[in-house]
Amino acid sequence: MKKLAILASGSGTNAENIARLFHQGNRIRVSVVLCNRKQAGVYERMQALGVPVVYMPNSSWDSDPDRVIETLRSSAPDLVVLAGFMRAVRPEIIEAFSGRIVNIHPSLLPAYGGKGMYGHHVHEAVIAAGEKKSGVTVHYVTEEIDGGEIVMQQEVEITPEDTPATLEAKIHPVEYDLYPRAIVKALDELEGSVPPFGRQEEVLKPEALSAPLQQEKREAAASSDSSACQSPDEAWAKALYINNYSDAKAEQARIRVEEGHLPPPSPGSKIPSPQISGLHPAVADAVSKGVAIPKSYMWVSVVMAVLFSTIPGLVAIVYSASVSSRLSCGDIAGAGRASRNAQIWIIISFVLGVLAATLWVPMSLL
Ligand code: GAR
């Protein structure tokens, strides 16, 4: 099991996506998140996933790097992952985790990197310069800001209508797809083994993210080793050790996700899950293993309960009405029977109502 420590400063959608994705498999875990801002969205996002977030003030990042190093070391990370971390990392920290820190940057580095280039500033500069393409880069962190060796990079087309905001909206889903792959690649590189996705080209065209995998598949087929013949999705699921993967299930999950039947976040979370749309089908498949209850469940339950309890309820009313009329005729025994029958039909009405409401769940899922 590989462990990640994430550094974040803001909303934390990348951090959440990484944790959600890897926690579907049993290969990689996010063990801790360090955040330098008290009001960041990442606290709520990670709380919903059960990942601890430690507040580490800017003063520590500036003048007490040992405290940062100690906190990171206490979770023994295999890789330190900067996900929207808006600070330069001190040389002492880089030294302590030498070659084991990666960062995501929302441009095609080395373009639009360096001091002052982060978040929306990058998109504003790219649009102002009239660029035709931008992208996402994952790179190793060195003392040169945004200057370390590139792990993976992917292009994003810019259209004339694009604004910094629409470009950011295009970039985010690409980040959600690229960063987990780059993390797996970096972990494999650090271990010295061959990455499961093969060696990536320096810059991947948007449509070619899985090309190395498809190549692998072709090669596997050519060598007629049927056990090695796997789709890109299978390879990805395998890389994350997601069990019970099948293309058909992934396709179903993808359709459910596109239709808006998002798998619920962890219990108690009120966080919307925009990152789910950026998940790979294999992950969507894994995420969607929880059974989806139809949205209409509540109303159907109410209608079923009313329908099934109304008729016995009416019978109970007729019996109870006859109690007083029998008493007024002096039919004590008849009144007693009517009263007993009324009680029995009230119980039947209640039981049928409850059963109709609750049995609708399994019935509707069959
Ligand atoms: C991401 O777009 C990331 O690439 C960028 O900040 C955003 C954080 O979003 N990082 C940088 O600009 C680093 N130089 P998030 O908090 O929702 O993951």
Position in ligand 1 atom list of the atom nearest CA 113: 14
- C-alpha separations of 273 from 233, 282, 287 in Å: 22, 17, 12
- Residue 50 scores a pLDDT above 70: yes
Q: What is the mean pLDDT of residues 223-233?
A: 48
What percentage of residues in the chain have a pLDDT greater than 70? Answer: 69
Q: What's the distance, CA 311 to chain centroid? A: 46
- Report how far ligand 1's centroid is from the alpha carbon of 119 (Å): 5
Dihedrals phi, psi of 81, to nearest 5 degrees: -120, 115
Token reading at 93: 């920290």
- Residue 242 scores a pLDDT above 90: no
* pLDDT at position 284: 45
Q: What is the mean pLDDT of residues 16-43?
A: 92
Residue whose Cα lies nearest atom 7 of ligand 1: it is: 84
- Report how far ligand 1's centroid is from the alpha carbon of 259 (Å): 27
Mean pLDDT is highest, among 140-149, 224-233, 335-344, for 140-149
* pLDDT at position 174: 94
- Residue 82's nearest CA partner among 164, 137, 125 is 137
* pLDDT at position 303: 80
- C-alpha separations of 330 from 208, 227, 336, 337, 341 in Å: 90, 86, 11, 13, 18
**Residues 93-116: tens digit of each pLDDT:** 999 999 999 999 999 999 999 999
Token reading at 324: 């007083």
- Report how far ligand 1's centroid is from the alpha carbon of 105 (Å): 7
Q: Is 334 in the pocket of ligand 1 (CB under 6 A)?
A: no
- Residues 86 and 103: their CA atoms lie apart, in Å, by 10
Q: Which stretches of the chain are DSSP H helices?
A: 13-22, 42-47, 58-63, 65-73, 91-96, 120-128, 164-191, 211-222, 232-239, 247-258, 281-287, 297-328, 332-365
* pLDDT at position 218: 47
Q: Which residue has the higher pLDDT, 227 or 235?
A: 235
* pLDDT at position 18: 93
**Residues 285-295: tens digit of each pLDDT:** 434 443 334 44
- Report how far ligand 1's centroid is from the alpha carbon of 231 (Å): 31
For the chain, helix, strand, coil in percent to 5 are: 50, 10, 35
Is 261 annotated in the active site?
no
297 pLDDT band, cuts 50/70/90, is low
Q: Is 41 in the pocket of ligand 1 (CB under 6 A)?
A: no
Residue 269: which residues within 8 A CB-CB, separation 6 or more?
A: 44, 47, 48
* pLDDT at position 198: 38
* pLDDT at position 197: 41
Q: What is the mean pLDDT of residues 328-334?
A: 87
Q: Is 65 in the pocket of ligand 1 (CB under 6 A)?
A: no
Q: Is 118 in the pocket of ligand 1 (CB under 6 A)?
A: yes
Stated length of the chain = 366
Position in ligand 1 atom list of the atom nearest CA 42: 16
Neighbours of 116 (CB within 10 A): 8
Q: What is the mean pLDDT of residues 266-290?
A: 38
- Residues 5 and 3: their CA atoms lie apart, in Å, by 7
Token reading at 257: 């996700």
- Residues 219 and 223: their CA atoms lie apart, in Å, by 6
Give the CA angle between residues 167, 171, 175 to the nearest 5°. 170
- Residues 153 and 73: their CA atoms lie apart, in Å, by 29
- Residues 4 and 18: their CA atoms lie apart, in Å, by 10
**Residues 158-203: tens digit of each pLDDT:** 999 999 999 999 999 999 989 999 999 999 999 875 444 433 333 4
Is residue 245 a contact partner of residue 285, using CB atoms and an 8 Å limit?
yes
- Residues 80 and 96: their CA atoms lie apart, in Å, by 11
- Residue 166's nearest CA partner among 205, 112, 129, 120 is 120
- Residue 60's nearest CA partner among 70, 47, 45, 50 is 70
Q: Is 106 in the pocket of ligand 1 (CB under 6 A)?
A: yes
Position in ligand 1 atom list of the atom nearest CA 86: 13
Which strands, in side-by-side order, build the sheet including 101-105? 53-55, 28-35, 2-8, 79-82, 101-105, 133-140, 150-157
Is residue 197 a contact partner of residue 239, using CB atoms and an 8 Å limit?
yes
Q: Is 105 in the pocket of ligand 1 (CB under 6 A)?
A: yes
Q: What is the mean pLDDT of residues 239-268?
A: 50
- Three-class secondary structure of residue 89 per DSSP: coil
Position in ligand 1 atom list of the atom nearest CA 172: 2
Is residue 84 a contact partner of residue 12, using CB atoms and an 8 Å limit?
yes
Q: Which of 105, 123, 139, 280 does the annotation list as catalytic? A: 105
- Residue 54 scores a pLDDT above 60: yes
The amino acid sitting at 89 is: V
Across-strand partners of 3? Answer: 29
- Residue 338's nearest CA partner among 349, 326, 348, 330 is 326
> Pocket of ligand 1, candidates 105, 151, 271: which has the most ligand atoms within 8 Å of its Cβ, to mutate?
105
